[in-house]
Amino acid sequence: MTQTLDPTAPELLRPTQEPCPLCQCCTAVLCERGRADVGGCMAHTPPELSATVAACLCSAPATRGTHAWRAEMIRITKHATESPMPAEAEEILRALTGCEAFTDDHGFLRTLRARGYVTADEQQAPRITNAGRRYITARTERRFTTPVEVESVDVRARTARVVVVGWHIEESVTVLLDQLTTATGLTADGLVNRFLEARANCYVNDPDDLVLTRFQIAPPLPAGWMGCDPC
C-alpha cells in the first residue's frame, strides 16, 4: 500500500539543507553565511540552537580567511600598536614563543589567557596561540602609512577589494567593508574608486597577512601622481 505524504509535512514545506562537508554542526549554507560575518555561525542561528554551532571552526576567529579572523587580526594589531601590554606580559609571550622558561611575578598569565594569547586550559602547560604570535609580531614589524585605492565593494559579503600601494601597486587584497565605512563615514557605493590612507605592514608576502588599521580619507593626490599632467 502506497503511503500518501502529508503536503504540510515539515520536510516538504522546508527542504532539508545539505550538511557542511567541513564540520559536524552546521549546514553548508549556514557556514557560508557564518564565514562572511564577524559573529560567525552563531549570528545566523536561533538562540535555542546557538550552543550547537558555538564551536564551529568554519567561521571561527582562529580560522584563517573568515570575517571573524580578519576582525581578530585587526583587534590584535591595534592592541599591540596602540595600547600595548606591560613589558612583563610581553616577556611571557616571547618566552613561550621560544619554548623558554619564564616567571609570572605579576600574575599576567591569567590576562594572557583571557585575551586568547595563551591556551586557556590551566591544567596544562601554557602555550602561545596564533593570536599571541600575531601580537608579538605586530609589536616589532614595521608599519607604514600608505595610499589605499578601493577597487570594488561586495555589500552582500561585506568585503572590499583594495590596492595597498605600499605593498603592491597592482595586486588587490580583501578587507572588511564595515572597517572602511566606520572609519571614513562613507557609504559602500561612495568608497568605490576612492583613495584612502591606512597603516599597513607592507613587508609581508601573503596578502592575508596584510593588516590595515587607521583608515582615513586620503588628501588630494599631487598633480601628475597618477599620470602625465594635462597640457
C-alpha cell at 135: 601580537
* Predicted local distance difference test score (pLDDT) of residue 10: 44
Nearest by Cα to 59 from 72, 78, 46, 74: 72
Quick one: 131 and 149 in the same domain? no
* Predicted local distance difference test score (pLDDT) of residue 49: 83
* Predicted local distance difference test score (pLDDT) of residue 123: 83
C-alpha–C-alpha distance, residues 59 and 177, integer Å: 17
Alpha-carbon separation of residue 17 from 11, 30, 31, 36 (angstroms): 10, 9, 12, 19
| Full residue range of the structural domain in which residue 75 is found | 71-140
Final residue of a structural domain among 117, 140, 163: 140
**Does residue 230 lie within any of the structural domains?**
no
Nearest by Cα to 127 from 107, 102, 150, 152: 102
Quick one: 88 and 131 in the same domain? yes
Quick one: 189 and 206 in the same domain? yes
∠ CA 178-49-17 to the nearest 5 degrees? 80
Final residue of a structural domain among 116, 140, 164: 140
Low-confidence ranges of the chain (pLDDT < 70): 1-16, 221-231
> What count of other Cβ atoms lies within 10 Å of the Cβ of residue 181?
18
Nearest by Cα to 156 from 64, 67, 57: 67
* Predicted local distance difference test score (pLDDT) of residue 13: 47
C-alpha cell at 186: 562613507
* Predicted local distance difference test score (pLDDT) of residue 47: 87
Quick one: 133 and 149 in the same domain? no
Strand order in the sheet with 144-154: 172-176, 159-164, 144-154, 195-200, 212-217
pLDDT tens-place string over residues 68-124: 999 999 999 999 999 999 999 999 999 999 989 999 999 999 999 999 999 988 788
* Predicted local distance difference test score (pLDDT) of residue 72: 96
C-alpha cell at 212: 590595515
* CATH assignment at residue 190: 2.40.50
| Domain total of the chain | 3
Q: Specify the pTM.
A: 0.84
